[in-house]
Amino acid sequence: MSFNSLGLSDALLKAISKKGYSTPSPIQQKAIPPILEGKDVLASAQTGTGKTAGFTLPILQLLSQGQHLRQRPIRALILTPTRELAAQVYANIKEYSEFLDLRSAVIFGGVNQNPQVNQLRQGVDVLVATPGRLIDLQNQGLISLSKVEVLVLDEADRMLDMGFLRDIERIIKVLPSKRQNLMFSATFSKDIKKLAMGILHNPVHVEATPENTTVDAIIQKVYPVAKEKKTELIIKLISEGNWKQILVFTRTKQGANKLTESMISAGIRAAAIHGNKGQGARTKALAGFKDGSLTALVATDIAARGLDIPLLPHVVNFELPNIPEDYVHRIGRTGRAGASGEAISLFSPDETTFLRDIEKLVGMKLPVENIKGFEPDPNASTEPIKQGQGRQQRNSTPKKPKTDNANRSSTNSFGPRRPNQNNDRRSNR
Ligand code: AMP
């Protein structure tokens, strides 16, 4: 199948060809036609499948065919869970709309709102936003959503995980009731299904498993290791394997910082990326990782959402995630674009429950390899780590943690948010 046969306009085909895409990815083949027909779509797809083009191309086409109003009210609203994803989606839209008379903008928290407001004042057809900043600007009367024709919830599962349900509901209330709705999610929990049922009308279901997240395409290994030897082992793996680009996951922000410091002391160029890092530091770390000046990027699950890092050869779970779905997200970052990759989990005895949950979810036993000199004490306690608390905090009184939701503005005046079911599990990431 070619992009030509999907019914996209010449202006879009020109932009696609400029990007160097020759064939639409499976999710694009499946999602573009129903979106062009104006249908609601519920898509199962994660980052790396080409999902962004899957919804932005048809939206741009619909908007460019639609009636142009002089003031350019916002006609398409794309909500994303993180600033990084918002910025990436926006960058894609800019490229795809290069030959169209459409204007787009991105708004997110953590930066001065004035440039965003100025841009909105000039008229914007497509707005990409994180929920917090959108609500802030809406409350200040600086944004009108009364002409929105298409709503996209990108990475809807992440939005729920990050506690944005209430915000999404508030935003939807101020949208016109007659509109097209598109929802993208990598996982489909009960909550996601409920959200979808409340928002979508007779949706077309489309699904695309990225080539690389099939179990066969990723070499998965579990290395049992004494907890206190994990740092030594990962440094050994990187140094002796001469690894050039490795994404490492920790459960907590503190854990990410500590590991990064140890790596740097061992001569590995590393940076941490998590919710306590300012936007500048996050962007710099990601850029360094992409251009090869950094070898290791140490991330928490939430910070890693939606990062478009192509062709990652190694993903290491320094700590197993306590939410099994996160394992699937993490390993989906290796071997992207069809290449094979390796996902290694450093597993200590106290993570036995997490491993069991993961194996249950992926429906297979993960292959275990022992590394001489690093094996855990066979008598070590398998008592699970207390959920939601990092190792550093186990014996201390838990403080109200600063979460990755910190990218939401504190001036949100829509009232208190309902506690999220996963907040406890995610509290210090
Ligand atoms: P996404 O899943 O939207 O984050 O896209 C993942 C990566 O695939 C991005 O770098 C896109 O630029 C790229 N991409 C999207 N569609 C295609 C395509 N049809 N052919 C090749 N690359 C693509």
| Residues above pLDDT 90, as percent of the chain | 58
Say if residue 190 is exposed, middle or buried (CB neighbours under 10 Å; 0-12, 13-18, 19+).
exposed
pLDDT in tens, 99-135: 999 999 999 998 999 999 999 999 999 999 999 999 9
Residue 183 lies in a domain: yes
What is the distance in angstroms between the CA of the first residue and the CA of the last residue of the chain?
Answer: 42
Q: Mean pLDDT in the chain?
A: 84
Judge if 119 and 172 occupy the same domain.
Answer: yes
For helices 352-362 and 324-331, angle between their N-to-C axes, nearest 10 degrees: 70
Q: Averaged over 40-48, what is the pLDDT?
A: 86
| Coil vs helix vs strand at 319 | coil
Which has the minimum average pLDDT: 244-248, 252-256, 384-388?
384-388
**Could you tell me the pLDDT band of residue 407, with boundaries at 50, 70 and 90?**
very low
Say if residue 9 is exposed, middle or buried (CB neighbours under 10 Å; 0-12, 13-18, 19+).
middle
Residue the block writes with tokens 């020759």:
22
**Could you tell me the pLDDT band of residue 428, with boundaries at 50, 70 and 90?**
low
Model's pTM, two decimal places?
0.64
pLDDT for 382 beyond 90: no
pLDDT in tens, 275-310: 787 778 888 888 899 888 999 999 998 777 666 666
Residue 429 lies in a domain: no
Q: Token digits for 118?
A: 């100025």
Q: Of all atoms in ligand 1, which is nearest to the CA of residue 306?
A: 4
Judge if 283 and 354 occupy the same domain.
Answer: yes
The pLDDT value given to residue 398: 35
| Coil vs helix vs strand at 128 | strand
pLDDT for 385 beyond 80: no
Give the list of residues 6+ apart from residue 374 with CB closer than 8 angstroms, or none. Answer: 223, 225, 226, 229, 232, 233
pLDDT in tens, 356-375: 999 888 778 899 999 999 98
- Domain extent at residue 259: 218-386
Number of domains in the chain: 2
Q: How far is the CA of 310 from the centre of ligand 1 (A)?
A: 9
Substitution site in 13, 47, 52 for ligand 1 pocket (most atoms within 8 Å of beta carbon): 52
Residue 398 lies in a domain: no
C-alpha R_g of the chain: 22
pLDDT in tens, 10-32: 999 999 999 988 889 889 999 99
Q: Averaged over 85-90, what is the pLDDT?
A: 93
Which has the minimum average pLDDT: 79-83, 201-205, 296-300, 423-427?
423-427
| Residues above pLDDT 70, as percent of the chain | 84
Maximum separation of any 2 CA atoms in the chain, in Å: 73
Distance CA 78, CA 154 (A): 7
Beta-strand pair 180-185/41-44: parallel
The pLDDT value given to residue 393: 34
- Which residue's CA lies nearest to atom 16 of ligand 1? 50
Residue 408 lies in a domain: no
Judge if 199 and 331 occupy the same domain.
Answer: no
pLDDT for 274 beyond 90: no
Judge if 169 and 23 occupy the same domain.
Answer: yes
Judge if 11 and 104 occupy the same domain.
Answer: yes
Q: Which helix (H) or strand (E) holds 185?
A: strand 180-185
The pLDDT value given to residue 391: 35
| Coil vs helix vs strand at 247 | strand
- From the DSSP assignment, how many helices (H) and strands (E) are in the chain? 16, 13
Judge if 382 and 250 occupy the same domain.
Answer: yes
Substitution site in 21, 29, 128 for ligand 1 pocket (most atoms within 8 Å of beta carbon): 21
Residue 94 lies in a domain: yes
Judge if 244 and 334 occupy the same domain.
Answer: yes
CATH number of residue 257's parent domain: 3.40.50.300
